A and B are shown apart, each in its own frame.
Chain A
């Protein structure tokens, strides 16, 4: 009878195609939107991801994420280094600077100051320059950080300083090694373009040593934002974090936990994220609503046929099983197509800088939702099918 159930479904090609397309589209939409969302979230903790050798991030006890930071006294670094189980620990300084281009235009950059000695935290540099160049005074690396066209410097020499007046509407080109910038009236020399991970929210990035950073950034009593500790062999990141926290009184988080913190912080505090989540929810509601209703309508239109099967001896149990086979078939085919399309899309967006991350749980979630909705629709259809008196088989034509 399940073959018959499927033929009942399949027989009405137009409706079946509509149903499958609806489910496929919805599961595509949901999976895509969720991957997009996950993509944003991974961009949100790009700073943590960029420092894979840091097992533990140490910060002021009040710092909730990489997005909202305050600084630590310099002594924090030594206190962390003195904790047993810390293999090594390096400082990191974060700040924001208004960077002026040679034509007088300016752009806000996030400054990431790294340990002068180890240069830990510097992403790979495009076009072969050595990171050790950064140790030169005023040397910086720049990165787009998910933005576009924000690293543009005047293309022609006559538009560059010394500027008597600004040359704002002039042809530009991308910054390159050797270009100069001005930060807080100090000269900065671009040593190269860093292949930094894109950020969420997107922002141009400026990598330099902490020594340089403290010259560029406005003077502050404390310059140290994070201490990045790596664990000695045989000790887990979480364990080390607990130890550091206990002995220094600072907040210490294993990198994976700090990523989670940051994602949660975004979920709670970022309006954009709230908007994305709301859109996602809306898309899901509409998509699944439509899908559910379509399945329900399909059954309603087939009520007469179920009544006929009932008259011919199909028990309610058999009819219910047929309903669920039909719903399950739609769910499987539809979500399969949708997820297939989504993984194709993930290949496609892999070629452009796009926040898209197909996590393992995303298709599962999409699938689960489709199955739940289909089962829900089938469950809703059960009532009319059961309530229907088989006597309607004699009613009219």
Chain B
């Protein structure tokens, strides 16, 4: 514990923040359960994620990575602390407004792809737009364009079960980006894929997702993809123990 605290270090103060933060977490604490069975998943997290950067969240299994991104996306309420998303304290919003806000501004990529199994690739990609009430034709045009950008133009009408893992994850990426969110959250996007496919998925994410004004959080414990990060936040036991800047990457600002 003492070691962990000692190892904690903020970014070099000399380096100015690359841009305004998309995500600002302050003293986030999250418990699961109560009484004897209470688990402290997050023990006071301070973290900023800036627009235009790709932040990787790494750490051993069970250290709280998923809990943290759930809190950031307002899928989960923290027990203490505040989390601002694009300047809004979305945990304080009404459920409905929060849901709509998340839908508009956040995109997700999951380890298990989480595509709707009975919908075609095109429909899957169109879902976030349809949720926001876009007319079907427009939604499908946009979804088709994104499928093309992830290299699956010819697969639009296939069901997820007819696609390979890598292809499914490409569809998922298209879905995460189709509504042009300000924050994209990826939970272990490469863990279900072999190395080469994972690499190409990360490349795709970096090329397509990481644009000016958009923040990317990628949770991983796959050391092979760390090279894609701008910054790496190391977590252990519910704390961020280290934030490192990856040399050689620069921000497109």
A54 to B94, CA, bound (A): 70
Docked-complex contact A314 and B131, CB < 8 angstroms:
yes
Task: Select B75's contact among A309, A316, A389, A396, beta carbons within 8 Å.
Answer: A389
Q: Does A387 contact B (CB under 8 A)?
A: no
Residues 96-139 of B, flagged 1 when their CB comes within 8 A of A and 0 if not, give 10011011100010111010111100010001101110001000
Complex CA gap A304/B73 in Å reads: 17
Residue B208, interface by CB 8 Å: no
Interface membership of A218, Cβ < 8 A: no
Q: Given A313-B99, A314-B131, are A397 and B117 also a contact pair (CB < 8 Å)?
A: no
Q: In the complex, which of the residues A7, A318, A396 contacts B131, with contact meaning CB atoms closer than 8 Å? A: A318
Contact B131 A312 (CB under 8 A): yes
Cα A314 to Cα B179 in complex, Å, equals 14
- Say if the beta carbon of A311 comes within 8 Å of chain B: yes
**Of A1, A11, A311, A318, which is within 8 A of B102 by CB?**
A311
Q: What count of chain A residues pass the 8 Å CB interface test?
A: 28
Which residues from A are CB-within-8-Å of B118?
7-8, 10-12
A315 at the interface (CB under 8 A from B): yes
Residues in chain A near residue B128, CB distance under 8 A? 312-313
Contact status A313-B100, CB under 8 Å: yes
Measured CA separation A313–B133 after assembly (Å): 11
CB neighbors of A among B41-63 (8 A): none
Interface residues of A in 131-159 (CB under 8 A from B): none
Do the beta carbons of A310 and B99 come within 8 Å of each other?
A: yes
Alpha-carbon gap, A251 to B66, bound state (A): 81
B95 in the interface (beta carbon within 8 A)? yes
Least Cβ–Cβ distance between A353 and chain B, in angstroms: 49
| B131 pairs with A309, CB closer than 8 A | yes
Tell me, yes or no, whether A348 is within 8 Å of chain B by CB: no
The answer to whether the Cβ of A221 comes within 8 Å of any Cβ in the partner chain is no
Provide the bound-state CA to CA distance between A78 and B154, in Å. 93
Contact of A4 among B73, B96, B130, B187 (CB under 8 A): B130
How far is the CB of A312 from the nearest CB of chain B, in Å? 5
Q: Tell me, yes or no, whether A308 is within 8 Å of chain B by CB.
A: yes
Q: Are B111 and A397 in contact (CB under 8 A)?
A: yes
Q: Is the CB of A391 within 8 A of B70?
A: yes
Cα A194 to Cα B174 with chains together (Å): 79
Whether B152 is near chain A, meaning CB under 8 Å from some CB there, is no
A312 touching B116, Cβ below 8 Å: no
B7: interface (CB < 8 Å): no
B interface footprint on A357-397 (CB within 8 Å = 1, 0 otherwise) = 00000000000000000000000000000000111011011
For B95, the chain A residues whose CB sits under 8 A away are: 315-316
Q: Which residue of B lies closest to A13 (CB)?
A: B118
CA distance A4 to B124 in the complex (A): 9
B201 to chain A, nearest CB (A): 16
Q: What residue of chain B has the Cβ atom nearest to residue A395's Cβ?
A: B66
User: By the criterion CB–CB under 8 Å, are A11 and B103 in contact?
Assistant: no
Contacts A3-B136, A4-B130, A8-B119 hold; do A308 and B114 have CB atoms under 8 A apart? yes
Which of B73, B96, B159 is A311 in contact with, Cβ under 8 Å?
A: B73
Cβ–Cβ < 8 Å partners of A393 in chain B: 75, 108, 110, 114
B132→A313 contact, CB < 8 A: yes
CB–CB B131/A394 < 8 A? no
CA–CA, A250 and B175, complex, Å: 81
**Which chain A residues numbered 1 to 38 have a C-beta less than 8 Å away from chain B?**
1, 3-4, 7-8, 10-12
B76 within 8 A of A: yes
Instruction: List residues of chain A with CB within 8 A of the CB of B73.
Output: 311
The 3 A-B residue pairs with the shortest CB-CB distance, nearest first, are A313-B103, A11-B118, A397-B112
**Which residues of A are interface residues toward B (Cβ below 8 A)?**
1, 3-4, 7-8, 10-12, 304-305, 308-318, 389-391, 393-394, 396-397
Q: Contacts A12-B117, A314-B131, A317-B96 given; 9 further ones with Cβ under 8 A?
A: A1-B131, A3-B136, A308-B116, A311-B108, A312-B127, A313-B132, A314-B99, A389-B76, A394-B110
